[in-house]
Amino acid sequence: MPPTRPADYYLCYLDGCVFIDFNKNQTQQIQLIRISFDGYGCCNLENAIPMEPDDAKAFKAMMKTQILDQSLLMTIVKKTIAANKVLIWKDALTRYGLS
pLDDT digits (tens, 9 = 90+) for 64-90: 999 889 999 999 999 999 999 999 999
pTM assigned to the model: 0.91
Q: Which residue ranges make up each domain of the chain?
A: 9-93
**Distance (Å, whole) CA 73 – CA 58:** 8
Q: How far is CA 3 from CA 8, 22, 41, 57, 68, in A?
A: 12, 15, 17, 27, 25
Q: What are phi and psi of 70, to 5 degrees?
A: -55, -40
pLDDT digits (tens, 9 = 90+) for 8-45: 999 999 888 999 999 999 899 999 999 999 999 999 99
Q: How far is CA 16 from CA 11, 30, 64, 70, in A?
A: 9, 22, 22, 16
